[in-house]
Amino acid sequence: VDDLKKILDLRKLFKQRNDQIRITVNDILVLYRAIQGFGAGALQPTEQAILRQTFSKEEQGTAMALFSMAIMLGPAVGPTLGGYIVDNYAWPWIFYINLPVGIVGLFMVATFVQEDEELVARNREQAERERKNIDWAGIALLSMGLSTLQYFLEEGARNDWFEDRLIMACFATSVITLVLFVVRELTAAVPVVNLRLFKDPVFTSGSLVSSLMFAMLMAGMFLLPVFMEELLGFTATQSGMALMPRVLVMMLCSPIVGRLYNKVSPRLLVFVGVLFYLAGALAMSHFNLMTTRLGIIPSIVLQGIGFSLLFVPLSTVSLSTIPRHLLTDAAGLSSLLRQIGGSMGLAVFATLLDRYATVARHALVAHITPVRAEVTQRLAVVGQALQGRGIPADAAPHAALTSLYGAVEKQAMVLSFDRLFLLAGLLFLFIIPMLFFLKTDRSAGAPAPVQMEH
């Protein structure tokens, strides 16, 4: 289809659903969020394909750097803006705030996006052929497979995993439907997802690394605000402001990385980015209940530099060997993998947070027994302090024990968060072996080394 018409329609869909979302609650809110996702989810690959088609190979690094700034700016600014809105206004304003942005986006796309007439004609011709053979089976299998997998990962820990029949059913359904989806896409005349693109090792490695990166990004966006609000006592606004240095660093570094891309091997940029992220994760793994806002800044600054060094070269290199007429398919598949990675990372780390906290809690409680003198002494001191605050003498021992358990609970959560911060950094080391598949040739839109047409 016409890229300009497509992106305008998608932005209109996003804006229309945004209007509906702001007046809904509970299950209806979830429903309209899902519908909104149909429009929003298709924007990024379309925009990325347009960038690849518009800019020359010498300009690709800079173009993707600016695109990366926009992509990373949303998740980075979101917590700050959302926290301020929640603390000072009613929650529907979270959706109202998107309306002027959507209107400006529609105007800018209609005004500035230029199209390749030859490519538009080819896309329209291809769309006419594909419209007669829409892969409804592939769409249904993918939707069912991903939704049941997501439910399995998010709800499994709460329902004792395979002890629960619904969880077992979701796991079995996800495995079966995703296997059938792969078979379907490899045999369909017009597949909804072009899996043959994975024949290209550059695209495959770049997309997988991007998926892992987004998994860790989403995990970090979940873990750090929860740590600050639940354990350090930050408000939503304060936790958002604490993350602002990462935004500023990413905005500063992305254009620099874009210029470096034309002069330095993308492998080197990604490798250095991994080291920066790992350094930030190591610093975060030492957070405790005494950590201040200033103590958080160095670690998130290091991670902001790391993400800038990772996202720009990966977004550019992964599509560098894809033919122009397959760029939209490739950008869509790469975006799908990133979204899956982000969702899976969020679900897995949320599950691990509960599991690690339980393990740490049991380990700490094992050391708190009445026969230990330091425990008895601690309870006596806390009991006396509570009596000084007006707690009756007969209730003070129980209140002291409750207070001690609360301290143990907090410490268990700290240990759990620290362990997950470290795990996120160590997982980034898996990126390093994939660097050998990243092509250092910066040519854009070159013929693919393997045949991927149907």
The domain spans of the chain are: 136-191, 199-449
What residues have CB less than 8 Å from 228, skipping those under 6 apart? 234, 238, 239, 242, 296
pTM above 0.85, yes or no: no
Pick the CATH number of 199-449 from 2.40.50.140, 3.40.50.150, 1.20.140.10, 1.20.1250.20: 1.20.1250.20
Determine the Cα–Cα distance for residues 334 and 208; give it in Å rounded to an integer: 8
- Of 444, 397, 439, give the one whose Cα is nearest residue 205: 439
Which of 8-17, 286-295, 301-310, 337-346 has the least mean pLDDT?
8-17
Comparing 434 with 299, the larger pLDDT belongs to 299
Question: Which amino acid is present at 150?
Answer: Q
In percent, the amount of the chain with pLDDT more than 90 equals: 8
* Confidence band of 444 (pLDDT split at 50, 70, 90): very low
Determine the Cα–Cα distance for residues 93 and 263; give it in Å rounded to an integer: 44
Question: Which amino acid is present at 352?
Answer: L
Confidence check: pLDDT of 57 > 70:
no
Comparing 440 with 438, the larger pLDDT belongs to 438
Determine the Cα–Cα distance for residues 274 and 267; give it in Å rounded to an integer: 11
Confidence check: pLDDT of 262 > 50:
yes
H-helix or E-strand spanning residue 341: helix 327-365
Residues in the chain: 454
The alpha carbon dihedral of 382, 383, 384, 385 has a sign of positive
Determine the Cα–Cα distance for residues 193 and 333; give it in Å rounded to an integer: 7
Determine the Cα–Cα distance for residues 439 and 321; give it in Å rounded to an integer: 9
pLDDT, residue 416, reads 92
Give me 6's structure tokens.
Answer: 């497509």
* Confidence band of 365 (pLDDT split at 50, 70, 90): confident
Determine the Cα–Cα distance for residues 209 and 213; give it in Å rounded to an integer: 6
